[in-house]
Amino acid sequence: MADAHFNAIVVGAGPAGSAAALTMAEAGLKVALIERGEFPGAKNVFGGVLYRKQIEDLIPEFWKEAPLERAIVEQRMWLLGNDSVAKFGHRNERYLDPPNCWTGLRVKFDQWFAGKAEKAGALPIYETVVTELIRENGRVVGVRTDREDGDLRADVVIVADGVNSLLGKALGAHQEWMPDQVSLAVKEMIALPKEKIQDRFNLEGDEGCTIEFIGQTAGMAGLGFLYTNQDTLSLGVGVMVSDLKKHHIKPYEVLDSIKQHPMIRRLIQGGEVKEYSGHLIPEGGFDALPPLSGDGWMLVGDAAQMVNAVHREGTNLAMLSGRLAGLTAIKAHQQGSFSAGMLKSYDDTIRASIVFKDLKKYRGMHSLMRDVDSELLFNKLPQALNDAVYQMLLVDGVTKKEKQKSAIKLLRSVAGGNMDLLRLGLKGWRAMNG
């Protein structure tokens, strides 16, 4: 391995890394795709939803062969109270042709996706950890791996090592994520017969449904999710690590209490837990985006905090960034230069893309989560909203006018008064429209 020289080395065979490797290999570049797991996907976890657009840009009509679970026809947002729920949602037949997104299992999907890069000519080097980047005169010229004689050299290294980007940190691209810039998600895969899933979620055939829920996270900033797969449900909860630190609660205990919530319990009833998993989600948003390239390197996907937490989009942004990095490498290869100035064109294409623009739109979301009391946003307000709806719909002889007045009064008092409610509303609006 010592003498091997590649046009590009990709570290990490997740969605970002495989997208980069596929793009470059298809253009004829000599590419090495390194993965620390036994196979691509072995270590990977998401909610998870896979979006069509960014995969289609790489592999037209991929859904005819890719391992996917259910095509999402309905998305629900639930605000949970202690023993209640207020629901929003949207179902639309137009989401099916062509499908907008699917549920998926990363172990299957990532293997398939990396396989595409392999077939295009990328050299798979799996069960191998990159321990450091090799630098000469300030320029990244290769990687050192934990294999014997494990040095590999290349014109460019694409760093796709995920949320715990030890290589990004070694590059000085980021110092270290703060505990409020990441969420820990724990998830269980719960097996149920197909028909039960279809009946309980109002689905036919391969149709699927996603539910996101706020509330019942022990007063911590967090989001729960329940997604339908073919014959399993993905039930999980992600909680901001800074809140988790404060609360001294075990993450799987939050999951346990959610499983007992009356609105969730009946949906998973009789199911058997097939797998438990946990993973960090980078949620620092726009202001956490690190420098994306330098002399001989580019940073993609989770390693660069490219997650839109508001819309639970991550793998699609990863693939898009991987493709853009790959295209930059192709251009650099053609022009024979992999200097920082040349690779800067990757930053430019990211800036012009939804990665940058969507994260910018929700720029204020991170500070909203960090600065506003989680107990208020994730417990008191959802509960108050549930109580207000309960009262409005309860026929008990009290006039509707009276009911509306006390509902508003309740929301106001929870927020800490008129001005605070207004301020919170404004801050929320700005966070969504930066």
Of 358, 364, 75, nearest to 225 by C-alpha is 75
Quote the tokens at residue 106: 């990363």
CB of 120 or CB of 129, closer to another protein: 129
Residue of the chain from 64, 94, 248, 401 that contacts another protein (CB under 8 A): 248
Minimum distance from residue 227 beta carbon to another protein (Å): 12
CB of 127 or CB of 371, closer to another protein: 127
Minimum distance from residue 277 beta carbon to another protein (Å): 6
Helices 315-335 & 354-361, crossing angle to 10 degrees? 140
CB of 252 or CB of 429, closer to another protein: 252
Amino acid in position 310: V
CB of 276 or CB of 429, closer to another protein: 276
CB of 268 or CB of 385, closer to another protein: 268
Site string for another protein, 116-155 (x = CB under 8 A): ----------xxxx-x-------------xxx--------
Residue of the chain from 117, 235, 240, 280 that contacts another protein (CB under 8 A): 280
Minimum distance from residue 377 beta carbon to another protein (Å): 20
Residue of the chain from 8, 31, 43, 380 that contacts another protein (CB under 8 A): 43
Minimum distance from residue 232 beta carbon to another protein (Å): 7
Minimum distance from residue 427 beta carbon to another protein (Å): 26
Q: Which of residues 155-214 bind another protein (CB under 8 A)?
A: 163-164, 166, 176-179, 182, 184, 186, 188-189
CB of 147 or CB of 403, closer to another protein: 147
Within 8 A by CB and 6+ apart from 2, the residues are 149, 151
Task: Report yes or no: 40 and 108 within 8 Å, Cβ to Cβ.
Answer: no
CB of 232 or CB of 349, closer to another protein: 232
Within 8 A by CB and 6+ apart from 128, the residues are 34, 35, 36, 145, 146, 147, 150
Minimum distance from residue 191 beta carbon to another protein (Å): 10
CB of 40 or CB of 326, closer to another protein: 40
Site string for another protein, 84-113 (x = CB under 8 A): ---------------------xxxx-x---
CB of 203 or CB of 239, closer to another protein: 239
Minimum distance from residue 44 beta carbon to another protein (Å): 5
Minimum distance from residue 247 beta carbon to another protein (Å): 8
Residues that bind another protein (CB under 8 A): 36-38, 41-46, 105-108, 110, 126-129, 131, 145-147, 163-164, 166, 176-179, 182, 184, 186, 188-189, 232, 241, 244-245, 247-252, 256, 259-260, 265, 273-280
